């Protein structure tokens, strides 16, 4: 099983590869840059969280990671719904995004219970 640091990094790398493979159209470029930014920041926020100096800071960083994940899902949906990318090509990214969301939500809930 992947450590969450490794898993969020692997997700980011998949986002980078997706961005690199997008068509060179204006709309693909705009949506691609957005998904690239949000999709690669999730792991960074998680790493910041594990180095947090307090439970409140830990929760805050994880919640930012969750916001970035939600934004990433939005941009993936737009790429798919606008037919820039076939849904089947990014289905596994959607699945991983949902799983990572569930894990991060669980981490936040547990931290809030300990607080």
Q: What is the pLDDT of residue 1?
A: 40
Q: From CA 106, how far away is CA 115, in angstroms rounded?
A: 14
DSSP state of 83: T
Q: What is the pLDDT of residue 115?
A: 72
Q: From CA 76, how far away is CA 94, in angstroms rounded?
A: 8
Q: What are the structural domains, with CATH classification, of the chain? A: 4-114 (1.20.1440.60)
Q: Tell if the pTM clears 0.85, that is, is over it.
A: yes
Along the chain (115 residues), what's the average pLDDT of each consecutive run of 10 residues? 86 98 96 98 97 96 98 98 96 97 96 89
Q: Where are the alpha helices (DSSP H) in the chain?
A: 4-21, 26-50, 55-81, 87-114
The tens digit of pLDDT for each residue in 60-90 reads: 999 999 999 999 999 999 999 999 999 999 9
Which stretches of the chain are assigned E, i.e. beta strand? none
């Amino acid at each position: 099983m992947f450590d969450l640091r490794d898993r969020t990094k692997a997700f980011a790398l998949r986002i980078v590869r997706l961005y690199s493979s997008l068509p060179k159209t204006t709309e693909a470029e705009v949506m691609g840059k957005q998904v690239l930014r949000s999709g690669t920041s999730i792991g960074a926020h998680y790493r910041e969280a594990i180095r947090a100096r307090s439970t409140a800071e830990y929760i805050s960083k994880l919640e930012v990671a969750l916001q970035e994940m939600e934004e990433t899902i939005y941009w993936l949906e737009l790429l798919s719904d606008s037919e820039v990318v076939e849904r089947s090509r990014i289905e596994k990214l959607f699945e991983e995004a949902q799983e990572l969301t569930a894990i991060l939500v669980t981490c936040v809930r547990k931290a809030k219970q300990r607080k």
